Amino acid sequence: MPLNQPQGQLVIIGGAEDTVGDCQILREFVRRSGGTKARIIILTAASSLPDEVGEEYIEIFKRLGVEEVGVIDTRHADDANHPNAVKQVAQATGIFFTGGDQARIIRSIKGTILEDVLHKRYADGAVIAGTSAGAAVMPEQMIVEGESDTNPRLDAVEMGPGMGFLSRVVVDQHFAQRGRLGRLLSAILLEPSVLGLGIDENTAVIVSGNEFEVIGEGAVTIVDESEKTYNNVDHVLKDEPVAVFGIKLHILPQGCRYNFITHQPIAPQ
């Protein structure tokens, strides 16, 4: 759930969002960031090709009508403490994390002035979006890497610190397309009392206050272990299958919402 009830919103995208057609998800991010008056900053920290990816998203956001679009490249040491980067984020109404490798985001931004400013902007009302790796880093604890198409095992996933815009939640992306249910189950068994969100490609959850809504062409799989009745994680080796009873599973396509406080899905009106 959101930390300390920030005024901002999160747009958490499962990767492979439409960038050439209607661009529903990116268009909604732009709208919530201020429309044509938005000031959008693209963070390419996750990418191994930051110049190319940055230019691609500049073109997309300009095509969607945004006049003020900039890129912050944090590939070099101390880039995330540079006064110019800090100033750009402090003035942004929308901040977009690209895809790539989520560990790169943490290495380059965690513990910097830029991280502090990102949290302040979120608290004050900015919209923060992330796709693929940029989605994975949203919670306090994130999936660093893991196996797809696997049964739940303790060694199927590696966890680590995320950016901390959400608490007691873990996010996985490319969910249905890469068969990641076992990976997400492994993550929530390693991080008890968290809610698992598996977001399909070209699908997003928009977090506002204590709820999120789903948009896009796929679905969001919610794995809720808050009422589990049994697991054997203390009695199996890391490479052995894990038993777990009583987990709740919800599937939410576009128009559905979910309340973090009540742990209840909400059908479309």
Give me the active site residues, please. 132, 174, 201
Distant-in-sequence, close-in-space partners of 116: CB < 8 Å, separation ≥ 6: none
DSSP SS3 for 187? helix
Judge residue 4's burial from the number of C-beta atoms within 10 Å of its C-beta, 0-12 exposed, 13-18 middle, 19 or more buried. Answer: exposed
Q: Tokens for 214, please give them.
A: 């789903």
DSSP structure string for 125-171? T-EEEEETHHHHTSBSEEEEEE-SS---BTTSEEEEE---SBSSEEE
3-state secondary structure of 71: strand
Could you give the 3-state DSSP secondary structure of residue 177?
coil
Rounded Cα distance between 153 and 169, Å, is 19
Give Cα 145 to chain centroid, integer Å: 14
CB atoms within 10 A of CB 212: 27
